[in-house]
Structure 1
Amino acid sequence: MTSNDPILEADLNAYVDDQLAVGRRIEVEAYLSERPAVAAQIMKDLRVRDELRLALADHRTVIRQETREAARQLERSLSRRRILAVFRRAAAIALFVAAGWVAHAVFGPFGATEVIASVQPPAFVEEAVRAHRTTLLRDTMASQPETETFDRAEIRSATAIVLPDLPKGWTVLDTQVFPSAYGPSVELVLQPEANERLSLFAVRPGSFAVQDVLLFHADNAKAAYWQIGDVAYALVSESRKADDLTQTARELSRTLY
């Protein structure tokens, strides 16, 4: 499984230091395979590192001049990459600041009467909303019967997705498996109380993260989403208030620890 995270200078340093997990090492190696110049420098760093380790494996009390020189070479190489990373971040910040001043000069301090800030949610949140709307459509079709059978262990065995424990009194009205980019996803149609329906969507998004509950508005629907490890979840509703939906999602997420 690979992630969509870009390869940073810190990843290259950690690769040389043997500090990366196997999955991330594979991603770094794929990155290097497409960049011969960077790969050549990394190979040089690895050679110096190995020479240093071999020298340090000698238990003589006097450190040889070759060992000192290898250590200095490795330190200089890693320092160069760290300094370049700092300069790149500083340049990006300067670019954004400059763009802000240009906008200020062009539009003036009162150029906009309203500012709406939004953060684009992960792709799985939009999948959850689509699955929720598909479920509402299925509900109006007599030819699409609901599947009320809910077996948490069977779902985990078939999809590697762990579902949270549901509160007492909640009813599972439908259980469906949908395709997604990184394997099957699962949607439960839940009835916390009469005349209310929620959709709980779970999927493996292809990346590892620990993300607290966030809220996303999509037209008439709201989605409270979070991620634990390599499984992401979204609780979707069209009727529940935003604060209540967020709190309910937090309570469900706690059952997964």
Structure 2
Amino acid sequence: MSKVPIVEADLHAYVDGQLPSGRRSEVEAYLAAHADDAARVAAYAEQKRALHGLYDAVMDEPVPERLRLPPTPGAGQRWLGWRAAAVVAWMAVGGVIGWSLKPGSAPIAPDTETLARRAAVAHAVYSPEVRHPVEVGADQEQHLVAWLSKRLGGQIKAPVLTEEGYALVGGRLLADEAGPAAQFMYENARGQRLTLYVRRRDAEAGETAFRFAQEGPVGVFYWIDRDFGYALSGAMAREDLQRVAHAVYRQLNE
């Protein structure tokens, strides 16, 4: 066996299938002897599957006209590189066109559409985490809420969902295109997780009633109320998610 130590880059390359066979065998032997790292690698793999489920279809969509630049004469392969880069940049800023509402839903304003999309992505990224699902745990709830409220510029709170069967795991600060956002994570006895995404509402967005979006396995109930936009995400039946969303809404409007 090689004496070269296993580093973080090896673990990510293992998940991405980028290791040569010899190094892959070494990593597998290492993971068999290190349960914590094996659990982390499993979480990375689950994140990868979730993100593929959300966005693989996007790569089959045409590049939007607003991102098309006329190729210069003789550009050839360089134009193909620009086009690929435009696709990546377009996805990175949240302009994913693969998003769709549940059949029969009314059109939604761009601000609320972005809210739902970002909440679904954040849920897909962080809910599978084993070792680091949150930045601040539920044992520091008072500090967590005060910190996130300060960063978002207004009083927010973490709803209590024990009657719905969920306990607070903790939360984290996220970067949203409109500024800082907060994510609270909850978990039930079966290990199923929900996340509540909170951000300041757009200055011109009015209040909205519940709306529902579905992307891959992740369902999202979202709404705008007073100073904030809220989105509750989970990979579960729509009626179950709606039940918890109503409980969240009631507590936030007491």
* TM, length-normalised to structure 2: 0.49
Structure showing greater radius of gyration is 1
Structure with higher RCO (Cα < 8 A, 6+ apart):
2
